[in-house]
Structures are given as C-alpha cells and as structure tokens.
Chains A and B, each alone.
Chain A
C-alpha cells in the first residue's frame, strides 16, 4: 500500500507545514515514526489535569476550591473537609478537559499538554491530593506503544488484534479519534491492529458513548455475539463514567453498567495515542 513506510532513510513529512512546499502526491512517507517526539500534542493541548497543594488554607482558599468543584460540569472534582483541612479528589474518568477548574483555581489545578493515561480500574483514574499517587510516569511515544502492542498481540493472539468499534451513544467526537487511528499518519494496522465489520470476528470491543437506554440492548447483544476470550475497552469520559451526560432517564452512567469493562480510556475525546495505549493495556488481560 502507498501509505506504508517504504524508505526508512527518508524524512517523513512533519505534517505541520513548516515551510517546505508539500506535495501530497509525491513519494514521501507520511506516517509518523515517532509521534510524541515530533508531532505529539501541541503545547496548547488541553489534556490531563493535575492537582497541586493549594497555596494556603485560608477561608478564601477553601472557597476557591469549592467554587472549582461547582464549576466542574461532569462533577469530576470532589472536596472533603475535615479537621485536618480540605482534601481534593479529581476523577479523570469524568473530566472533559474543559479547563474551567484551572480558570477558577489556577494554583491548584493545572491542565497539562499530555493526555490522561488509561487504566484497568476506574479507581485508578482518581487523583487524590495529599495521598501518595500512583506515578503517572512518562508518556510513551506512539512508536513505543505500538511496538509493545504488536509484541503482545503476537504473543497472545497470533498475529493480529481484531477490533469491533461500538458507538453506544457518543457525540461522535470519539468516533473521529478512533477513525483517525486508521489514517496513514497513525496507521495502526502496522502494529497488527485492525478494525473488523462484525463482533463475531473481534477480539476487542472498543466502546464509545454513555450507553443510552436505546442502545443498551444492542450493546449487550454485541457483547454476547463476540467470541471468548474477549476484551472491552471503554473509550472516553462518557463510556467510562457517563461524563458530561451522567446518569439520567436516557443514559446509564457509563458502559460498565451494561457490559464488563477491562480498560478505561479517559478523555473528551481521548487522543488517538491514548486509545492505542488503552489497547496495549487491554491485551495484557489476555496474556
């Protein structure tokens, strides 16, 4: 195929228009060799939110944190007050990266330009201030994610990982990002990952959306139609926890209410790198 890297010595397009005249029809490698080194998220990208200790514990400081909790639309921020002071929790599984908390209390909430890392358990997506946090660690470059994934895939499933994507009522933002994995720049097929047309051919269900009441049955049936062993990856805040759409008459507060979930990928929407990272975590479940 034209999209595969053919010549490793040739410089790939940086895809970001740094002056050189581009010719899309030319014989040039467009696939990112190492996304995060060069083409990773822009400095302005609103990704993970981290907590720092507040500057003080005055009444004013506390009020600021309470306001931050109240401006958070998906209710990702928790505030507990006791004798020892005020404690914060931040649920990345709910966070939609709007940055309103940072705008309210900038010393405490910091929006990072790196993405929030996927986790196997929802509880691991919750940051607690003043407690020892599991270190987020350095974010791996996509090439590294892909290499590890492809090795695990080979070890556990033979040569390839077959994915069925299910939209269980998302806003279609997550679909845009899942589909981006297939473009020549991410080119996820080079890692042995490919999307299949039927759940009966799939190893993984990649589920987006809040699981609406109208999709509930279809999602369950799709799960039942997938042969064992199977893995479910929840993509995006809605699929993880309900996100902005929460738990209402029409929604269910996340897909784990309907099917068992193996990996949670936070984000609104998660970047393609984060989804790939989620798949890497997912195959560990089989191995």
Chain B
C-alpha cells in the first residue's frame, strides 16, 4: 500500500506541472491517485506526462455515461506505477454532451501513446465519443453489419434492443500492394477447437509481411449485462468473461467491491483465493505448453502434457466442485474451503504432477526438432512490448519485469515472494540473463511458463503450510457500505497477465452503474501482429499459441 507521503509527492509533481489546469488531486481507496483536469484538451499532455515522467503503464481506460449524474461523460485513463510504489494514477476529465446532432469528442491520446489505440476505438463504438485525430476510424467491437448510431454502453440504450442488420458499411483491411503479394484470409471459424477471430495475412511466398487481426466475434455484451444485474450475479458473469480465467477475473471483481466497502476478507479466504489462482495458472500453463508441442508436430509431448492438465482439472473439481474453478470466490471472501484433507491431497497430486511435468519438459528440451521450431520464432522486442503495453508472461518473456502480484500486491500475495527462484540469487541472474538473450521469442515464453508452473507450486505449498486456522470464509458485505457512484479499481494477475476491473456502484447500492473490464488478452492481442512479421505462415499457429490469447476475454 502506498504511503501518504509517496502519494503526496506525486500530487505535488502533478500540481506543479499542470498548475491551473488541475481541478483536484485526490487519493482514493488507498492507492488510486485521481488527477482531475479542467480541460479535455490537456488530456494527451497529462497522459503523456504520467506515462513518460512518472513511468506509468496504461492499465485501463474507462469511459462512463454519467449524464444522469453530472450531465457529462467522464473519461478516465488509469496508469499503474510499479517498482515498489504500488500506486495507480488516474487522469480524469469530463466530456460535455455536445449539441444535438453533433457527437461529443475528445482529443485522441493514441497519437502519443500507442497503448491507448484500441481503448479509444472501443469508446467510439460503445459510447459514441469521437477520439479526434485517432489514426483508425474503422468500427471494432460492433462490426460493419451494425448501424453507425448504436452506442450500447450509453444509459439510454436498452440492453434488449434488437438492432436491424445493415449491409452497406464495408470493412476495409489494410491492403498491401506489390508484385508477388498475396492475401490469406483465415477465420472466424478456425480449423482447431479454438475461439473465433479473423486473421488477414499479406505474404510474399511463405513470409508474412503484414497481419491484421479482426476480433469481437465473441462480443456478448458483458459490461452492459453487468449493469442489469445485482452484485452477486455479476460475480457469476465475471467468472465467465473468459472461462479459463475464472479465478483471476472474479478475484479482481471481488477486490474492487471489497475496496469500496472497506472490508478485508478473512486471512484464510485470501489464502484460498491465492491457492486457487495458482492452480488456475498451473493447469493453463501446462495446457499451453501441450499446445505448443502439438503445433510443432510433437504429439508425444502434447499427449503427456495434456494428461497432466487433465489431472490438474480433476483436482480443481475435487477442490472447488468445478473443473474450471468456477465458484471459488464470493464477495467478501470465498465459497470453498481447503480442509486439512483437501490440502494434503492437493499437495500430493500437485507434487506428482510437478515431477512428471519436469520429466516431460526435459524430453522437450532435449529434442532439437522441437527447440529449433521455438527458438527465434515470433520475437517481440522489449521496446515493442513496452510500446504496445503487453502484460503477463509475454511481457516477462520480452524482458519487462512486471507482475501485478508483486507490483500491486493484493490478498495473500502481500506476504509472498512471487519471483521464480527468489531464494537463489544465482539462479535468478541466470534466468534473467537467459530471458534477455531470448528477446521474447516463442522459446522465451515456453521457458517462462515452465518457470511459472514450478513457482506456482512453490507458492501453493508456502500458503498451505501457513494456512490460517480461522473458520470464517467470508466477511459480510452489507450493501449500505457501498455508496452510490463510488468506484474502485480491482486487479489480479491471471495466467495471461494483469486483469483490471473498474467498477462503479449504482444508485440502489446493489448494482453496478458501470463495469469496465480489461483482461490481459486485450493488452496482448496487438502484440501478435508485431510478433509474426517476417516469420512464415506455418509458424503462425505456434506464435499464436505461445501468446495464449483469449478471444472471449478480449471481446467481452
């Protein structure tokens, strides 16, 4: 948690820099420093300052239709400041409704900050605010078959509205011209058992010279849906934002609500959350490694690893009653307990899986036909990773040392060391040197996942050895502690990376006025377009798998 002095330091710097342009600087919820600026015209400058000078990493951008409250739209750009500070700086500005017939607008930040690009397109589609000067004017969330004047996240749009299909809006992919350039369209229905999305390759021979991704086929209206439910039901939705990330997303949601209510779940509940979050990481990482093995045609490794994934999923079921760990979290605590018996069983199975896992990994590492395919493929430089704003395994494999569990510690992670090999400096140095040398290729992401599986099991063991003996699994979360329109950021590190949930409480204190979800996949999807450049088309599935992106988590 940030000390008041640190926050005061940031406040002084912001006031100093923006002077009269500042309406207020307030510290909310312990670690959220809200900078409200007077004029929307200052928005790009303020965001650039927080990014460049305060070393903030764009965590999410939230636009909410608060016309009913204040007569205006509100834009919030939230930046995470790591490096031991645990602070979020949130640049806030109000956007007037504008005269009838003209659309409200704001100056685009994307021109200065690439990471803001997709957020602003999303805002234009979902709320109808125009980011002026934005380099890409095409629709994103709402495909071309939606009419232009639909803004689902505005308050005057009814969730049940059935909008007629239009056919006169074309969608134009970037056209690459030149001799010998051909285009390969792929999807949305793919060849494997995966989610839908469209990829447009421009190639010369086998080499990819441009890739454009087209997503949002799985747009289910998650954020709008959340506004129509009570808080307990939204928890079930949060688990199903991306099914294999149920624990991480529901943890982020719960933490946001708990922050507003000012309650802390019992220590034992926080420990159960952490153990389940690590179980989620383990079964998914093993699944991704199995997928990598499949994609290089090494069925032997894939078969073995998918056996281990299945064992972990059966363990999930024993522990939480669900193979995908649905139902772990409750507002104010957890819904499952780890009895003595369960803990012993959990550690027994996990140990056995880990032993087997290391054996399979050593087979993979000693197979040159596997390693050759991974090495040098799908590289993402740390400069590119930083600019795009990637998170999680992908960021760490490109040499960015970011991890929400450490940078913004929450729950049981406050008292845990989460770095791989943290007890062995020599190994830390060797691993980091290795990652730097790899420059974010598929092999780097392979090795990072292997490390994280081992590390997650260590975390589980550490937590379970010290499991609090308290009987309470949740604290009551009375709704009158949730003031209307109060808001907070919740966050967690899923197996894909940081997931950020911004919630704003509704007027009746048991609903959400606005629920903005930004999963790791949203931050990481643009990286794939950079990663595959100059690789061959046949390597695309491998690169895609190594990034482990969720379509549902992106499309909402």
Chain A residues within CB distance 8 Å of chain B: 1-3, 15-17, 19, 21-25, 30, 39, 41-42, 44-46, 71, 73, 96-100, 164-180, 182-186, 195, 197-199, 209-210, 212-215, 217-218, 222, 244-251, 268-269, 271
Is B303 touching A3 in the complex (CB atoms < 8 A)? Answer: yes
B252 at the interface (CB under 8 A from A): no
Is B217 touching A171 in the complex (CB atoms < 8 A)? Answer: no
Complex CA gap A180/B243 in Å reads 14
Is B317 touching A185 in the complex (CB atoms < 8 A)? Answer: no
- By a CB distance below 8 angstroms, the chain B residues around A24 are 304, 307-308, 356-357, 359-360
Is A249 touching B160 in the complex (CB atoms < 8 A)? Answer: yes
B425 at the interface (CB under 8 A from A): no
Is B152 touching A249 in the complex (CB atoms < 8 A)? Answer: yes
Complex CA gap A272/B146 in Å reads 36
Is A172 touching B552 in the complex (CB atoms < 8 A)? Answer: yes
- By a CB distance below 8 angstroms, the chain B residues around A1 are 299, 303
Q: Which chain B residues numbered 315 to 351 have a C-beta less than 8 Å away from chain A?
A: 315, 317-324, 326-327, 345, 348-349, 351
Say yes or no: A98-B326 contact (C-beta < 8 A), given A44-B317, A249-B161: yes
> B53-81 CB contact bits vs A (8 Å, 1 = yes)?
00000000000000000000000000000
Is A174 touching B321 in the complex (CB atoms < 8 A)? Answer: no
Given A44-B319, A169-B217, A213-B145, 14 more pairs with CB closer than 8 A: A17-B352, A22-B355, A42-B317, A73-B236, A73-B237, A99-B321, A165-B193, A167-B218, A170-B552, A173-B324, A175-B194, A184-B307, A212-B219, A214-B218
Nearest-CB distance from B149 to chain A (Å)? Answer: 13
Is B244 touching A212 in the complex (CB atoms < 8 A)? Answer: no
Chain B residues within CB distance 8 Å of chain A: 142-143, 145-146, 150, 152, 157-163, 188-189, 191-196, 216-222, 224-225, 229, 232-233, 236-237, 240-244, 246, 287, 299-300, 303-304, 306-311, 313-315, 317-324, 326-327, 345, 348-349, 351-353, 355-357, 359-360, 363, 550-553, 555
Is B307 touching A73 in the complex (CB atoms < 8 A)? Answer: no
Is B220 touching A251 in the complex (CB atoms < 8 A)? Answer: yes
Nearest-CB distance from A92 to chain B (Å)? Answer: 17
Is A171 touching B304 in the complex (CB atoms < 8 A)? Answer: no
Question: Can you give 5 A-B contacts (C-beta < 8 A)?
Answer: A17-B345, A46-B327, A195-B192, A245-B221, A249-B224
- By a CB distance below 8 angstroms, the chain A residues around B363 are 25
Is A214 touching B243 in the complex (CB atoms < 8 A)? Answer: no
Q: Classify the secondary structure of A's interface with B.
A: loop
Say yes or no: A218-B317 contact (C-beta < 8 A), given A24-B304, A25-B304, A175-B194: no
Complex CA gap A198/B190 in Å reads 8
Complex CA gap A195/B321 in Å reads 28
Pick the residue among B287, B303, B352 that contacts A184 (CB under 8 A).
B303
Is B303 touching A44 in the complex (CB atoms < 8 A)? Answer: no
Which residue on B lies nearest to A47, using beta carbons?
B321
- By a CB distance below 8 angstroms, the chain B residues around A171 are 220, 240-243, 552
Complex CA gap A214/B553 in Å reads 15
Which of A173, A244, A249: most chain B Cβ within 10 A? A249
Nearest-CB distance from A258 to chain B (Å)? Answer: 13
Nearest-CB distance from A99 to chain B (Å)? Answer: 7
Is B217 touching A215 in the complex (CB atoms < 8 A)? Answer: yes
Say yes or no: A249-B162 contact (C-beta < 8 A), given A16-B349, A169-B217, A184-B306: yes
Say yes or no: A183-B242 contact (C-beta < 8 A), given A98-B327, A250-B152: no
Which residue on A lies nearest to B241, using beta carbons?
A171
- By a CB distance below 8 angstroms, the chain A residues around B243 are 170-176, 269
Complex CA gap A198/B303 in Å reads 23
Pick the residue among A15, A17, A169 that contacts B196 (CB under 8 A).
A169
Say yes or no: A15-B244 contact (C-beta < 8 A), given A170-B218, A215-B188: no
Nearest-CB distance from B316 to chain A (Å)? Answer: 9
Pick the residue among A46, A183, A214, A250 that contacts B306 (CB under 8 A).
A183
Say yes or no: A183-B221 contact (C-beta < 8 A), given A175-B194, A214-B216: no
Complex CA gap A271/B318 in Å reads 14
Is A73 touching B244 in the complex (CB atoms < 8 A)? Answer: no
Pick the residue among A22, A170, A210 that contacts B195 (CB under 8 A).
A170
- By a CB distance below 8 angstroms, the chain A residues around B315 are 16
Complex CA gap A226/B196 in Å reads 18
Which residue on B lies nearest to A3, using beta carbons?
B303
Is B221 touching A251 in the complex (CB atoms < 8 A)? Answer: yes
Instruction: Report the tally of A-B residue pairs with Cβ distances under 8 A.
Output: 218
Pick the residue among A96, A100, A177 that contacts B323 (CB under 8 A).
A177
Is A176 touching B244 in the complex (CB atoms < 8 A)? Answer: yes
Nearest-CB distance from B277 to chain A (Å)? Answer: 17
Which residue on A lies nearest to B229, using beta carbons?
A73
- By a CB distance below 8 angstroms, the chain A residues around B359 are 23-25
- By a CB distance below 8 angstroms, the chain A residues around B161 are 249
Complex CA gap A182/B194 in Å reads 13
Say yes or no: A173-B356 contact (C-beta < 8 A), given A71-B232, A185-B307, A250-B221: no
Is A218 touching B188 in the complex (CB atoms < 8 A)? Answer: yes
- By a CB distance below 8 angstroms, the chain B residues around A22 are 352, 355-356
Is B220 touching A21 in the complex (CB atoms < 8 A)? Answer: no
Complex CA gap A218/B143 in Å reads 13
Is B303 touching A2 in the complex (CB atoms < 8 A)? Answer: yes
Pick the residue among B229, B240, B299 that contacts A173 (CB under 8 A).
B240
Nearest-CB distance from A214 to chain B (Å)? Answer: 5
- By a CB distance below 8 angstroms, the chain B residues around A246 are 225
- By a CB distance below 8 angstroms, the chain B residues around A164 are 189
Nearest-CB distance from A136 to chain B (Å)? Answer: 20
Which residue on A lies nearest to B152, using beta carbons?
A249
Say yes or no: A169-B220 contact (C-beta < 8 A), given A39-B314, A185-B310, A222-B189: yes
Nearest-CB distance from A238 to chain B (Å)? Answer: 8
Say yes or no: A198-B191 contact (C-beta < 8 A), given A42-B318, A173-B240, A248-B159: yes
Nearest-CB distance from A91 to chain B (Å)? Answer: 16
Nearest-CB distance from B122 to chain A (Å)? Answer: 14
3 residue pairs, one from A and one from B, having the closest CB atoms: A173-B243, A250-B221, A197-B191
- By a CB distance below 8 angstroms, the chain B residues around A176 are 243-244, 287, 313, 323-324
Which of B233, B308, B550: most chain A Cβ within 10 A? B233
Is B236 touching A218 in the complex (CB atoms < 8 A)? Answer: no
Pick the residue among B191, B306, B311, B552 that contacts A17 (CB under 8 A).
B311
Is A248 touching B224 in the complex (CB atoms < 8 A)? Answer: yes
Nearest-CB distance from A252 to chain B (Å)? Answer: 9
Nearest-CB distance from B338 to chain A (Å)? Answer: 12
- By a CB distance below 8 angstroms, the chain A residues around B360 are 24-25
Nearest-CB distance from A10 to chain B (Å)? Answer: 16
Say yes or no: A218-B323 contact (C-beta < 8 A), given A167-B196, A172-B243: no
Is B218 touching A209 in the complex (CB atoms < 8 A)? Answer: yes
- By a CB distance below 8 angstroms, the chain A residues around B318 are 42, 44
Which of B157, B232, B319, B324: most chain A Cβ within 10 A? B324
Complex CA gap A19/B300 in Å reads 25
Is B311 touching A15 in the complex (CB atoms < 8 A)? Answer: yes
- By a CB distance below 8 angstroms, the chain B residues around A167 are 194-196, 218, 551
Say yes or no: A199-B217 contact (C-beta < 8 A), given A173-B244, A244-B236: no
